[in-house]
Chain A
Amino acid sequence: TQLLEQSPQFLSIQEGENLTVYCNSSSVFSSLQWYRQEPGEGPVLLVTVVTGGEVKKLKRLTFQFGDARKDSSLHITAAQPGDTGLYLCAGARGSNYKLTFGKGTLLTVNP
């Protein structure tokens, strides 16, 4: 059972376009993290959202946590080829360190 549904699974866009990646669940998470992974490397933490309705910005990336803490989105403005990578959302419950990962979104930004 996939507890975190991430979509789309694959996304190929042109440089300068905007995109949104979604992460949905029927379960409540105490926090949700977004990671970016490049081929052959480990995931790198981008952001953690904790409060329902929270919005965090990281340059051209905007992260939002749903009011009910069951879903999250990642919006990239004016995508660049350097944004290419696998984006993963991961949710945590309580103080349990164990993360539940979404299936990932493989983003390709073409010059």
Chain B
Amino acid sequence: GAVVSQHPSWVICKSGTSVKIECRSLDFQATTMFWYRQFPKQSLMLMATSNEGSKATYEQGVEKDKFLINHASLTLSTLTVTSAHPEDSSFYICSAPTSDMNTEAFFGQGTRLTVV
């Protein structure tokens, strides 16, 4: 089956620093990837749609200057949390649909970000 790999699995950073999270499609190309944020015991909140070769589309209320998304290739999207604050601590998950299953999504393992 399709595999989406996310790295790192967890990261601890100091307030004010930036953190980059990578999302890779390992055995398929993804022109679109999605970034979600999840709080404990809650569902996924879509943050933005990452589009290969063009600007990401952000959901309402998500600061695009704070959460920088780059989709430089057909297999890699990155989410950079800039000037991180403790309230940015969360579980971040990416997903990608495969080309031949137009709505099914495969998710990365998630990244636990803790800002201290």
Contacts and interface: CB of A to CB of B under 8 A. Distances in A.
Our verdict on whether A and B bind, yes or no, reads yes
Interface of A: 6, 30-31, 33, 35, 40-45, 48, 86, 88, 90, 92, 95-99, 101-104, 106
Nearest to A102: B43
Task: Give 6 closest A-B pairs by Cβ, nearest first.
Answer: A42-B107, A92-B103, A104-B43, A97-B97, A103-B43, A42-B110
Interface of B: 4, 6, 32, 34, 41-44, 46, 49, 91, 93, 95, 97, 101-110, 112
B105 A88 contact: no
B104 A48 contact: yes
A107 to B, nearest CB: 11
Contact of B110 (A6, A41, A95, A102): A41
A101 B103 contact: no
Nearest to B1: A45
Contacts of A97: 32, 34, 97, 102-103, 105
A53 to B, nearest CB: 19
16 contacts: A33-B104, A40-B110, A41-B109, A42-B6, A42-B110, A45-B104, A48-B101, A88-B43, A90-B105, A95-B103, A97-B102, A99-B34, A99-B105, A101-B44, A101-B46, A104-B42
B50 to A, nearest CB: 11
B93 to A, nearest CB: 5
Nearest to A98: B49
A33 to B, nearest CB: 6
A42 B109 contact: yes
A98 B47 CA distance: 11
A31 B104 CA distance: 9
A44 B91 CA distance: 16
A43 B44 contact: yes
A103 B42 contact: yes
Contacts of A90: 105
